[in-house]
Structure 1
Amino acid sequence: MAPARDEHLDAIRARMAAHSPPLHALVVPSEDAHQSEYVSEQDKRRQFISGFTGSAGLALITMKEALLWTDGRYFLQATQQLSDRWKLMHMGEDPPVEAWIADVAWLYNIRGSDVDYSPVVHSYAIVTLHSAFFYVDKRKVTVEIQKYMSGNGIEIREYETVQSDANLLASGKLQSSVHVEKDMNEVESSKIWIDSGSCCLALYSKLSPHQVLVLQSPIALPKAVKYFVSSIFLLCNNAVEPHRTGWIEEGDIRDGAAVVQYLAWLDNQMQENYGASGYFSEIKGSHKKENLPTKLTEVSVSDKLEGFRATKENFKGLSFPTISSVGPNAAIIHYNPEASTCSEMDADKIYLCDSGAQYLDGTTDITRTVHFGRPSEHEKSCYTAVLKGHIALDIAVFPNGTTGHALDILSRAPLWREGLDYRHGTGHGIGSYLNVHEGPHLISFRPSARNVPLQASMTVTDEPGYYEDGSFGIRLENVLICKEANAKFNFGDKGYLAFEHITWAPYQTKLIDTKLLTPVEIDWVNTYHSDCRKILEPHLNEQEKQWLMKATEPIAASS
């Protein structure tokens, strides 16, 4: 930990003591005023004061203590990044996440670039029975957006005026220049619906408690259900770029092609420069070239992956910082490699890559774990247990009304049988050219996963894992679409649901211990690989096709 961080802590305490009256404690959250998961540089206050770079956490500073709470994804990372003047407090499993600023983007069908990895614009919305207001820095609003908003009866106001307008709303005096409220007495006596997870305290404090109806945002559920129809996004901050989008799967197919191109390239590089046995072979040992002109690092290879994605149609950027991790770093669940400190690639260690992209026709999130040398039997066993859990969720059939809390055990059971587990949820919703983490549904053993049943047309990830501190980490992740199941019966007339995967990239078969797979699981892998080949081949060159053909060869049960 750099001494400068501790100097920041001393400076904060001096300001707390000098305040009138003196402050006994200071809470420093991770989120911005919109409760966003990913925030702009100016809002990274918790990172600034503590040095901890994870996306989730809360700091509490008193005159004698500095405490940081974070969840199981970040325990190891926080231990490494906090100085001895900080105390790490455990929150348990990862909390449910929802980037609430995306609600405004979805409601008004606009996108922006105020926050890295998330195509959103800093903004607020107030919607009454007869009017709709959009609070944004007007310098970001183009003529076309102004025309679009006016045509839909939405009044654009300056970002800062939301504070005074909240007061007017509370008193029933908020007036629109586009629409006139029909009965101001009725407005004044109406309830004001807010979501405590999305409304900041500064705005909430302007409302009287008797006026407030605290419920989940009415936008959250409709946003989570993808209708897969063409739409047009208007972009703030950039030149207006209307674009028709089709099925969300199209972005995932192009993304899968980029991942295959990357794995084929990386396989070649590891063999040529590090003497690795490669993606397909298990020959023991590696012979790294001396005096490599450019060594491969966690960051340099992830930059190459971004380069492959950048060649794809409708690519707009990454959907989160790529988790490119070798060996012990792969055990840090949300590892964030930095060019100055990251590890060099190692042919004798597991490599985990969790990555995603933003396309105009979809948001992607995929994880694959590979080994370019000879994996140990223990590593194979662990990988296979994770794969079994991954398959179990993918093939699940369940009645309408089932929550992610009930399904979470399907992915953990194969690991539990070996006495293994993981400290994060199994799945989260994913936006459509929006935030990569989206609620209100999730698949997890957290109690909050009981709140919202899964519905047809929701997207959710399937990402079990296993992590051994100081050694390796394994995670496999696909995006799934929830759909109506073609079940033989319909007990109770409930209707049944199932999943369809839309992520395409091979699983490394040399990491699979086929003795541990059932015939159903072997058939699933072979079917997935066959489909993967058919779907991705049109997007690859001849050399890449040959690599994919080999990567997707059928597996058979071991004798």
Structure 2
Amino acid sequence: MDVVVKLFPFIGRSFVKCGSNIWTQTSENGTKMAAPVKLDRLRSLMSQPKNRVNAYLVYSEDAHQSEYTPDRDKRRAFISNFTGSAGSVVVTDKEALLWTDGRYFLQASQQLTPEWTLMKDRLPETPSIPQWLAKNLPAKSRIGFDPKLVSKANIDSIGAELKSQKSDAELVPIQENLIDQIWGEVQPTYPNTPVFVHDMKYAGQSVEDKLEKIRGELSTNGAAAFVVTSLDEIAWLFNLRGNDIDFNPVFISYALVTPDNATLYIAQDKVKEDVRGALGSSVNYKSYDDVFEDIRSLSSQGKKIWLDSTRSCTALFDAAGEQALNRGSPITILKALKNEAELEGMRQAHIRDAVALISYFAWLEEELKGGNTGLSEAAAADKVDWFRSQQKDFVSLSFDTISSTGPSGAIIHYKPEHGSCATLKIEQMYLCDSGGQYKDGTTDVTRTMHFGEPTAREKRCFTRVLQGHIAIDKAIFPEGTNGYQLDILARLYLWKDGLDFRHGTGHGVGAFLNVHEGPHGISFRPTSQTVPLQGGMTVTNEPGYYEDGSFGIRIENVLLVREEKTPDNFGGKKYLGFENITFVPIQTKMLDAGIMSPEEVQWINEYHEEVLKRVGPHLEGKTLEWLKRETQPVRL
């Protein structure tokens, strides 16, 4: 088993770069549990009299609907062997199916064993999970799920769609998780590391002020209590951070806010005296599972309990019963609208992050041009991770580094593994998507490089991606505009050549929190229609193009949404635009200048002037010389 332990200080804990493959760990008898064995055991449990289900649903998320989960909660990865961050599983007595989106089609096709069927989600010909269940299950079927893991919104949506398909199938909550029973004693345990205080100089707002805002929302919405379930929202609310999930500085907990109290439900030994002292009497502490009993108690008193069905498991709604008030979390938008301390922290974190990346790319080019033909994708990832770890206030990576050469670049969320990944070749394109967690901010940057001689096609594709990137960066739009409306700007130039990409153009980024943050984004997906972009939000700008078997291209910066001064304000509206905070060169040797406008060439030249101005003073020697060369003006 290939395990490379990285000694980065994720608050005192080393972490695994190339994972130990917890979904294929040895079973109790010391042998690896093969995919058919796991499926056979699951089907046996499904058929037991106490369960009696025709299908069992397994999702990626934990009880808090987290995108990234603790190892213990990687049930979908364990049963399917698919390790991407998004995917849903249906297992019946004869079939095993995985639904995932376009980011992961290639990866899933490589990781799934022959017993599995890949369902390419969001393609016109692919049925949804309820549509498939309605068509393929016998009459009066029972569909099992874990009510402490699956969100209320998801279950309600499945039920409604089954009904629309005229299915009489029944959704059956199964309290004892069937995957856990198969996993057994080798299933990882939850981490038990302490939470820590997120300093006010970074947070920019006190816990008391945040609680006051939530209590104002309680009054407005006629609720007696609000249950906070998302881990990043709990961390934000209490100005705390943790170490329970790799890459995300959060901790496993629930919270409940009433007009008079705020309670944090968490393993008690995780809360040390310094945290209790910092929060004072404004917060009470109870054991993690006590939240269910407290909700039942409030419900029995006839008190309305505010829950967000997209972020809360079905079991929480069951505890609240008829007193459940289903509304979106008020914290989501409050957290997304960064205050000035958070924005300045993000700016400063990105400068230090740029120092790390520029140092890495300068080193990498010297290695490859110097004849190093044995550098693997994973070893290269280790190196960029090391450069980042040397920066002030570095805490951890913000996600697994994507280090991909040639064909690997076409796997959108590729993760290199020592011993099995490719070696970098100077004649191939190289894509590196990486980010860091710093005490003052979170970063996410992608650059695509070629250290040899790119082909005309590679240059043209790269330039089309860059043109979309520039169009987003330069966009000015009226307040009330959502990311769905802007997404076309990132694709127009690719469309001219009959090209496109299967992922969103941008996602929100937390402030020393999750690298993927809502509720906003820039995407073709309907979720980007619901919340307009507003001043103080952060969002990535990352169009791409991926050619299976050949290469991948992505260019990603982080942007801050800000108000723009315009000559007029039609309809009395403010107009918004973006402030770029990522300062890493975009390789100009990859440009096809013949298809660029003078305005686009001006943009790249002005961007590189800013990169040199902001990052140059922090560099020296060969690295500074590399930066100066890479930021030379482009001339038509």
TM bucket, shorter chain: 0.7 to 0.9
RMSD: 1.7
Report whether the alignment pairs 1:165 with 2:294. yes
Q: Of residues 325, 340, 347 in structure 2, which corresponds to 1:249? A: 347
Other-structure match for 1:241: none
Q: Of residues 214, 238, 249 in structure 2, which corresponds to 1:108? A: 238
Per-residue Cα deviation, 1:90-131 (whole angstroms, up to 9, x for no partner): 2228x9xx9921011111111000000000000101111221
Give 1:155 deviation, angstroms: 0.7
Q: Of residues 36, 40, 45 in structure 2, which corresponds to 1:15? A: 45
Q: Of residues 536, 551, 554 in structure 2, which corresponds to 1:475? A: 554
Do the aligned partners of 1:228 and 1:248 also contact (CA within 8 Å) in 2?
Answer: no
Report whether the alignment pairs 1:202 with 2:315. yes
SS across alignment from 1:441:
strand
Runs of 4+ aligned structure 1 residues displaced above 3 Å come to: none
Q: Which has the higher contact order (CA 8 A, sep 6+)?
A: 1
Give 1:76 deviation, angstroms: 0.6
- Aligned-partner Cα distance in 1 for 2:455–2:328: 47
- Aligned-partner Cα distance in 2 for 1:338–1:34: 29
TM-score computed with the length of structure 2 as normaliser: 0.77
Other-structure match for 2:361: 263
- Aligned-partner Cα distance in 1 for 2:270–2:397: 22
SS across alignment from 1:434:
coil
The 5 A counterparts of 1:125-274 are 125-151=255-281, 153-172=282-301, 188-189=302-303, 191-209=304-322, 211-229=323-341, 246-274=344-372
One-letter identity of the residue aligned with 1:555: V
Do the aligned partners of 1:69 and 1:89 also contact (CA within 8 Å) in 2?
Answer: yes
Report whether the alignment pairs 1:26 with 2:26. no
Other-structure match for 2:601: 522
Give 1:3 deviation, angstroms: 7.1
Do the aligned partners of 1:36 and 1:99 also contact (CA within 8 Å) in 2?
Answer: no
Give 1:170 deviation, angstroms: 1.4
- Aligned-partner Cα distance in 2 for 1:405–1:437: 17
- Aligned-partner Cα distance in 2 for 1:30–1:99: 16
Structure 1 stretches lacking a partner, 5+ long: 173-187, 231-244, 275-287, 289-294
Shifted more, 140-149 versus 59-68: the winner is: 140-149
Other-structure match for 2:140: none
Other-structure match for 1:363: 442
One-letter identity of the residue aligned with 1:69: W
Other-structure match for 1:373: 452
Give 1:246 deviation, angstroms: 4.8
- Aligned-partner Cα distance in 2 for 1:374–1:367: 20
Give 1:306 deviation, angstroms: 0.8
One-letter identity of the residue aligned with 1:101: L
One-letter identity of the residue aligned with 1:195: D
Do the aligned partners of 1:99 and 1:435 also contact (CA within 8 Å) in 2?
Answer: no
- Aligned-partner Cα distance in 1 for 2:33–2:456: 43
One-letter identity of the residue aligned with 1:445: F
Other-structure match for 1:499: 578
Identity %: 49
Per-residue Cα deviation, 1:303-348 (whole angstroms, up to 9, x for no partner): 1001111111100010000111111110011111111311111111
One-letter identity of the residue aligned with 1:10: D
SS across alignment from 1:263:
helix
Structure 2 stretches lacking a partner, 5+ long: 1-23, 25-31, 129-227
- Aligned-partner Cα distance in 2 for 1:480–1:327: 28
Per-residue Cα deviation, 1:59-81 (whole angstroms, up to 9, x for no partner): 11111110101111000100011
Give 1:228 deviation, angstroms: 2.2
- Aligned-partner Cα distance in 2 for 1:390–1:100: 31
- Aligned-partner Cα distance in 2 for 1:61–1:443: 34
- Aligned-partner Cα distance in 1 for 2:377–2:482: 37
The 5 A counterparts of 1:263-342 are 263-274=361-372, 288=373, 295-342=374-421
Give 1:208 deviation, angstroms: 2.0
Per-residue Cα deviation, 1:395-420 (whole angstroms, up to 9, x for no partner): 00000000001000011111111110
Report whether the alignment pairs 1:422 with 2:501. yes
Do the aligned partners of 2:254 and 2:265 also contact (CA within 8 Å) in 1?
Answer: yes
Do the aligned partners of 1:298 and 1:343 also contact (CA within 8 Å) in 2?
Answer: yes
Change (3 A) 1:17 1:340: farther
Report whether the alignment pairs 1:47 with 2:95. no
